[in-house]
Structure 1
Amino acid sequence: MTTLRVIQWTTGKVGKLSLRGILDDPRLELAGVYAYSADKAGVDAGALCGRPDTGILATTDIDALLALDADVVLYTPFMADLDHAVRLLDSGLDVISTNLFLNLGGIQGETREKLAAACARGDSSLFITGINPGWINSMVTAMTAVCRHVETVSIHESADVSVYESAETWQALGFSYPEATPEKIEMSKLWLSTFRDSNERMAAALGYRLDDIEFFIEHATASTEVDLGWLRIEKDTIAAIRAGWNGKVAGKTVVQSNVAWYLTKQLNEDWQFDDDHYHVVIEGEPEVRTRIRFVPPDTWGNHEWDTMTAMPAVNAALEVVAAPAGISTLKDVGLVCAPAGVWLDH
């Protein structure tokens, strides 16, 4: 069995869970851990993710990590550092990232050029994944294989986002504010560009060349005061959004990626939310409709939901290492799945 040596890059909300995934996968060997903050430097990797000690201590020393002769990096920081990413790819390390480089404007323009050039120099690959963009896009595009004709592919995500305790994230999108100012809408457009990326991934896999990707957003306000413990939402302030992107060819929408997110269902507006996390519609011959609902175990706390962001990255390690150099597409990486048989044997 092939064993890959893996570096975990940061141990925040997602990184802690991907670190657990590395330790739990017999195909993977933890080589090192990058500590974003100095207070984690010198701490055992196991202690950082709720596992027994591993003998591997987190470090802020990038040179030491590059000298470990690892194969791949699980890159999960809250804010991307382009210099770090370029340095990793330059060194020949493949990088699997749950971070979409949004603080740098996303994987486009100069950022994309620098990352692609680093992949070329290092003969390395960069794959961006997670739950969405990532896993859901692979699932949905694969569903079109039963069709003789496809008109539109749509992903509708519905979620109670109060399980993600990050006040700064939701306030950036306008939550808890009395109205959506132009500045908040522009910030929302940036943060929600992840779903623009989702459309672009599906379009590339399906062979579409998009002429335009149209953004839309609407807001709903709370009908009563709601105190989540980590964020207070006053009555008549924003408590839910519906937003997304329509990817178009010749003026016709061919791919859609929409979200309906709420911190409370107690709204002034008569919005209805789907209890299923994903509602997928492929209009074509035949039409394909499917719903996906994640059912967590009773042991999960709020942050355990990030498992579904972390595990598509962990489980993609072997496929990404085998992929051609460059910024990987869905087709470059192919079918990623859990190593269930390996887990069973161990």
Structure 2
Amino acid sequence: MNIGKAIRVIQWASGSMGRTAMRMVMDNADMDLVGTLVYSNKKSGMDVGEIARRVRSGVLATDNINEIIRTDADVVIHMPRITLPYEALVPDVIRLLESGKNVISTAGFHWPDAHGESYAGPLRAAAIKGNATLAGVGVNPGMVAERLLMAASAMSVDMDRVEIFETVDASAMASPEFVFGLMGLGSNPQEKDIRQGPLSNLYGALFSEVLYFCANHLGSEILTIEPDHQLTIAPRDIAVAAGTIAKGTVAATEWRWTAHLANGTDLLLSIIWTADPNLHASDRQGHWIMNIKGRPDIKMTLDISESDPTKPPSRALTDAVCAVAINAIPEIIAAPAGLFAFQPPSTSLQRQKV
């Protein structure tokens, strides 16, 4: 980055979240949006200001990755949808890093070492080659467990169990591809059990990074990870913004893993995506519940909500994810080349018995 000049930003993908990030960059006097990668032929060649619903900037969006690679920029805000298989995004990120661009991704890369050297090694080597930094950011993964709960763990000297519960209401999400595809809602369990196969593998890979991050922060390592995924079947037809969840099909998924650490602590991560929160118990309402069971017990709750009733409820979480990414830019640019993860306060005394 050139000191004293605006940070040059490329936006990768221009869906609802990407457009929000574009607006945040364009509204920031210290940043310049110098390029945007789009997946739609209709958007390619459009002024990025038009896509972002801002004034025209003279910068044109492109669907050509080579043009993005050639564009001079300090950082790429990487916001594609998570894909099957999980590692499908790696080649593009490697090209970006090797071209000398820092990459801040909301589609993984939170703790690449969770998948071993065969996965993390090429990413690390690309970053070193390009003198660039790769960081995975977001709310979950990225913030809830890694930065909030691990910071709270500094108040405990002995932890038996750490729990993270997430509940996401999908009823207002308008994308059928996301709700019925990546979320797995509306699938027929008699025809296909989504707890086995590609979706299970995808989320196991993504969220294992949360567990490995936490284990590392707690000064330990994972011995085993036990999945225990659950499905909630629709008792009736349920109308949601993306379509209709038919009676007898999947109305909610609970992706659930327990990691057993070498230091004796268990880490539970449970994520419910649901077409109707009323299908679940009262203790699974709201976004996140985080528990530390030990000495002392600690419980935290976190909710991210939209205050403007004229806006879709999903805007709040979109804003939060984009804010995490945009706010990370200065620190990622200043970081040494390689793989980056935000670190909460030290918990080096945690396993001491009192």
Question: For this structure pair, what is the TM-score category when the shorter chain's length is used for normalisation?
Answer: 0.7 to 0.9
State the Cα distance separating 1:123 from its structure 2 match.
1.9
State the Cα distance separating 1:198 from its structure 2 match.
1.5
Q: Helix, strand or coil for the counterpart of 1:314?
A: helix
State the Cα distance separating 1:58 from its structure 2 match.
1.0
Q: Which amino acid aligns with 1:317?
A: I
What pairs with 1:169-318 in structure 2 (closer than 5 Å)? 169-172=178-181, 173-179=183-189, 181-182=192-193, 184-193=195-204, 194-250=206-262, 252-265=264-277, 267=279, 271-272=281-282, 274-297=284-307, 298-304=309-315, 305-318=317-330
Bigger proportion of residues as helix: 1
* Structure 1 residues 38 and 109: alpha-carbon distance in aligned structure 2, compared to 1, 3 A threshold: farther
Q: Helix, strand or coil for the counterpart of 1:211?
A: strand
Hey, what does 2:100 align to over in structure 1?
92
* Contact map agreement 2:167 2:284 (CA 8 A) in 1: yes
Question: In 1, distance between residues paired with 2:292 and 2:67?
Answer: 48
* Contact map agreement 1:22 1:314 (CA 8 A) in 2: yes
Q: Which amino acid aligns with 1:260?
A: I
* Structure 1 residues 328 and 115: alpha-carbon distance in aligned structure 2, compared to 1, 3 A threshold: same
* TM-score using structure 2 length: 0.83
Question: In 1, distance between residues paired with 2:116 and 2:93?
Answer: 15
RMSD over equivalenced CA pairs, Å: 2.7
Question: In 2, distance between residues paired with 1:158 and 1:75?
Answer: 25
Hey, what does 1:339 align to over in structure 2?
none
Q: Which amino acid aligns with 2:40?
A: S
Q: Helix, strand or coil for the counterpart of 1:162?
A: coil
* Contact map agreement 1:156 1:258 (CA 8 A) in 2: yes
Question: In 2, distance between residues paired with 1:176 and 1:157?
Answer: 20
* Contact map agreement 2:277 2:285 (CA 8 A) in 1: no
Unaligned runs of 5+ in 1: 336-346
* Contact map agreement 1:71 1:321 (CA 8 A) in 2: yes
* Contact map agreement 1:155 1:258 (CA 8 A) in 2: yes
State the Cα distance separating 1:219 from its structure 2 match.
1.0
Q: Which amino acid aligns with 2:98?
A: D
What pairs with 1:27-38 in structure 2 (closer than 5 Å)? 27-38=30-41
State the Cα distance separating 1:229 from its structure 2 match.
4.5
Provide, for residues 206-238 of structure 1, a one-character-per-residue CA deviation record: whole Å limited to 9, x for no partner: 222111122111111111111224222111221
* Contact map agreement 1:100 1:107 (CA 8 A) in 2: no
State the Cα distance separating 1:157 from its structure 2 match.
0.6
State the Cα distance separating 1:37 from its structure 2 match.
2.6
What pairs with 1:12-161 in structure 2 (closer than 5 Å)? 12-78=15-81, 79=83, 81-100=89-108, 110-136=118-144, 137-161=146-170
State the Cα distance separating 1:30 from its structure 2 match.
1.5
Q: Which runs of 4+ in 1 moved over 6 A?
A: none
Question: In 1, distance between residues paired with 2:195 and 2:300?
Answer: 33
Question: In 2, distance between residues paired with 1:316 and 1:96?
Answer: 8
- Once structures 1 and 2 are overlaid, which stretch shifts more, 4-13 or 180-189? 180-189
Q: Helix, strand or coil for the counterpart of 1:176?
A: coil
| Aligned: 1:165 with 2:174 | yes
Paired-residue identity, %: 27
